Structure 1
């Protein structure tokens, strides 16, 4: 019987990211994906700054950036009655190429650039997956299998026996793994077999996603280039995502109650919102539904789930894929610790305790973004009417839409999550920062994301952290720190000592000693190393609760 440390079922963004992270951590794994290859239909269009921070560690961040919208492309967002109607609201952000230049200017973007090395990266999910897949193929310890399907599994205290079917030959083979991790989507077979329910709001709306190419698209309307157009007229309600300089788009058209996606004439729908005929090539069409659902459990002993298998989103805000990737990064180092023998028996349980509250938080935020957007997609021809009542409505909509900027400016949600009440975080008694969807407040409070700071041009503090734990010492004196490092070495916990004697770093991190986890979260901080540092190490690795 073939044996592998980890078997991942599902080869989408989350499954691929999990495989890449495990491979980067020198953990062997197999990925089984029932499709013949990647899904070429673009879904998510924004790679969050937090997700890019993970991808930076693998060295694929630049390739992902270059695979998306050209870096000199204006990062504009238009809310319009239709593409043959009026502009009702607009947000303009600088092109990616110009981000470094805005460090010396005022405003929101300058502030946001201090929060992370990245803003949102506008690259299609299909392009992101291809870049990750190429990286996976460079790793010798990852076995990527398309046209393979997980059919069944049974677990005991030592591992999981998986029955995997070769779809081409129809042969079923048994594969033994230490952990089975399901990234098999919203209709997860693994979740269903474990009889784990979902809680939240289902079927908030139904859409048809039309992926198309139209070479003269930008000549057919009066608006400028944009990352996203939001047509608000009820007959065209939805959003158009731009995948290049303005010739390739996905039109997510909201279906009316009782309407089926296969009733939609794709070309006619595009020309209707555009207001004129043009050359259009339909590349693919897929239906989808908007939900705000979270699984009641994230794991059952050695069977673990991540991504859409445990949370289903509406895409408003761009949180779905990015929340799933953070799931993957969280569970990857914990599985590594268990396989290598330095993880305690409380460590895997901490995955659910940390990530499920974030699943609930993020699905609710995405649903709120959708509800607000949906509430302004109920008007008809009055949006373009020349009348006093239309002027009044447009003025009201303009004010309303300004309050919906969190749909685009969402770093508070993407960076500001925190693991309150985690069994493997050591609180320091400091006050929790406000959780604001728009505005991230940098903090090194335990349980929060380790804050980014530029150490020099192009060098983030993240570039100095170790692959596993990092003990950051903001001082020239490392004598006490060496006591903790030696204790960690004695009990087999991998940790890097990082000395940075810098006042700006101290102002940000507040304390002389800070332990950063392998997933770039703060586990502990203090101005002293205690007499028994082993207690800290046992706590943050799940040995004691």
Structure 2
């Protein structure tokens, strides 16, 4: 346990509107969006540097859409693998052995040039990007350092969080000196990972499966010789099937850096696993390797029973932990951050009420549960593939077996690499932060299918992207806060909503789409109210009878006094 020595405070207690605990991708994204909105934010992290552990290695399309909004998507896309490096996913007996099949994906250069086939396959202006967290975090760190309203203190460990009705108090220990001090905040966001101090401070419990799959043995290493042996079209990720172990191996920088994961067979002791044996089975030959670290870990499927207590909230791994399949872990946390930032800003700005934080907790917990089950499904579906020892034999029978296994992989594991249903199709169901009507079809699940996405402007859905006539994305035309999309020839149909937002001091931009839209997507709805997180808050074919009530419902605000509402209602009853 950390020893804490209290010293007299060298300065009066500081106060920030928001304190973010944890400077990983989730915490820094939250801080960046808050700062962009003008909210002062302090970020605290015990580490002196960005991560040296190459954990997450995919920034998915949904996250890239948000990073586009933050002005960082191009910088992120130009980092990681070389720009001309294909990002194929390869299945093989070993990295230098028999190839079973592969899913082909474009390079960053092709995506930046707009020539990638992903633009026809994926309904987004920002296809997913393969980048290790060791390269992503420095970009976010630099952006936080240059943000006017953000401050990042590294080497400052949060040891306790308490709260009263009107404030939260964060106790911090400066790692280098042991000095302890306190910071006050209006709100605290716990983005401090799986062992979260903030989660423990509010008594939240992780629930689910403590051991959802085989344990893992991960090796981070360098081998330029291996990189030179991977052929004219090397992959980004290799799924390998060895005699004793099976797992994946990722290229991190396109030259010599690799991360190898191996599943530890049930009944085996993870401490007995020999990294040399794992690497021999994964690579298929002997190579000079420089091992940086070996990590043994347990695959879990856990979601916190609550994401909020008063002024303290959870996001990212502090709120949910699951198998790192499909890139769902960190990326779900990025959506957490963007879902929370606008609500905190709205509360501090006085145009939302406290209930919106309950909405955040309910919405993100429901999607977290659904996403965790999607990750587990991918693992279970692939658990029986590649088990036949003859897969590594020579001869025509083995060739036929490998071809059959390759076809099976194409059928079963496509969902992991084409997970549009998770990335774009997640829906918020039953949240007070959205307003449904009789046109909205009922949905029984936050995620209907991993690899199926049906664009929709139904309330609770991500507003669909489409390319506009000038080559920009619809997302580029959305405002920072609420946006009312008006479809059709008559922009005046949105005047009542705009007037009500103005009377309530709710920031709203009106976007009139004169270009044709897909009738299957809009289903006759000419008005679409988009929340700041790009989620449809309400949509309809006619203006709402009471736009004031609509906004107050979405933002948890009490209705104005009756004599003040006459003007709002007059806009819609003339």
What's the TM-score bracket when you normalise by the shorter of the two chains? over 0.9
1:507-522 matches, within 5 Å, as 508-510=521-523, 511-522=525-536
Distance in 1, Cα, partners of 2:159 & 2:311: 17
- Structure 1 partner of 2:162: 154
User: By how many angstroms is 1:242 displaced?
Assistant: 1.2
The answer as to whether partners of 1:26 and 1:141 remain within 8 angstroms in 2 is yes
TM-score by length of 1: 0.93
Following the alignment from structure 1 to structure 2, what is the Cα–Cα distance between the partners of residues 200 and 73? 38
In structure 2, the partner of 1:40 is 52
1:530, distance to aligned residue in structure 2 (A)? 2.8
Unaligned runs of 5+ in 2: 1-12, 560-574
What are the superposed Cα offsets for residues 344-391 of structure 1, whole Å, 9 maximum, x if unpaired?
2321110121111110111111111112233325444x2122478756
State the match for 1:487 in structure 2.
Answer: 500
Deviations 1:288-337 (A, max 9, x none): 32111111111111110011111101111110000011111111111111
| 8 Å contact from structure 1 (residues 234, 377) kept in 2 | no
Give, in angstroms, the shift of residue 479 of structure 1: 2.8
Indicate yes or no: 2:403 matched with 1:423. no
| Aligned equivalents of 1:146, 1:178: Cα separation in 2 | 21
* CA offsets 1:407-440 (integer angstroms, 9 cap, x no match): 1111211111000111111113332588221122
Query: Quick one: which of 309, 315, 318 aligns to 2:324?
Result: 315
Q: Which residue of 2 aligns with 1:93?
A: 105
TM-score scaled by length of structure 2: 0.88
Aligned to 2:569: none
Listed as ranges, the gaps of 5+ residues in structure 1 are none
In the TM superposition, residue 195 of structure 1 has moved relative to its aligned partner by 2.4
* Structure 1 range deviating more: 445-454 or 393-402: 393-402
Map 1:119-130 to 2 at 5 A: 119-130=127-138
In structure 1, C-alpha distance between the alignment counterparts of 2:189 and 2:530, rounded to whole Å: 25
Structure 1 residue 254: Cα displacement: 2.2
Structure 1 counterpart of 2:82, from 34, 45, 70 = 70
What is the aligned partner in structure 2 of residue 279 from structure 1? 288
State how many pairs are aligned: 540
Question: 1:155-179 deviations in whole A, cap 9, x for unaligned?
Answer: 1111101111111111111111011
Quick check: 1:538 aligned with 2:548?
Answer: no
Alignment correspondent of 2:95: 83
Q: What is the rounded CA distance, in whole Å, between the counterparts of 1:193 and 1:50 in structure 2? A: 31
Equivalent of 1:342, from 344, 351, 356? 351
Cα separation, 2, equivalents of 1:250 and 1:40: 12
The answer on whether the counterparts of 2:202 and 2:312 sit within 8 Å (CA) in structure 1 is: no
Cα deviations by residue, 1:61-95 (Å, 9 ceiling, x for unpaired): 00000002233222211111122432222211233
Deviation for aligned residue 1:450: 0.5
> 2:75 aligns to what SS in structure 1?
helix
Deviation for aligned residue 1:100: 7.9
Match of 1:450 among 448, 457, 463: 463
Q: Is the 8 A contact 1:232 1:379 kept in 2?
A: no
Match for 2:540 among 526, 529, 532? 526
- Contact conserved, 1:299 with 1:352, CA < 8 A, in 2? yes
Distance (Å, rounded) in 2 between the aligned partners of 1:463 and 1:397: 43
Equivalent position to 2:148, from 140, 146, 150: 140
Q: Mapping of 1:289-328 within 5 angstroms?
A: 289-328=298-337
5 Å-filtered alignment, 1:360-371, equals: 360-371=369-380
Name the CA distance, whole Å, in 1 between partners of 2:195 and 2:224.
36
1:178 aligns with 2:191: no
Bigger CA drift: 277-286 or 254-263? 254-263
Compare 360-369 and 486-495 and name the one that shifted more: 486-495
Counterparts of 2:234 and 2:291, CA distance in 1? 21
Residue by residue, what CA displacement relative to the aligned partner does 1:82-116 show, whole Å, maximum 9, x if unpaired? 224322222112334335888797xxx45423x10
Q: Residues 4 and 102 of structure 1: is their aligned pair in 2 closer, same or farther, counting only changes over 3 Å?
A: closer
Q: Is the 2:421–2:452 Cα contact (8 Å) retained in structure 1? A: yes
CA distance in 2, matches of 1:25, 1:419: 24
Contact 1:31/1:143 (<8 A) preserved: yes
Deviation at 1:235, TM superposition (A): 2.5
- Pair 1:400 & 2:399 matched: no
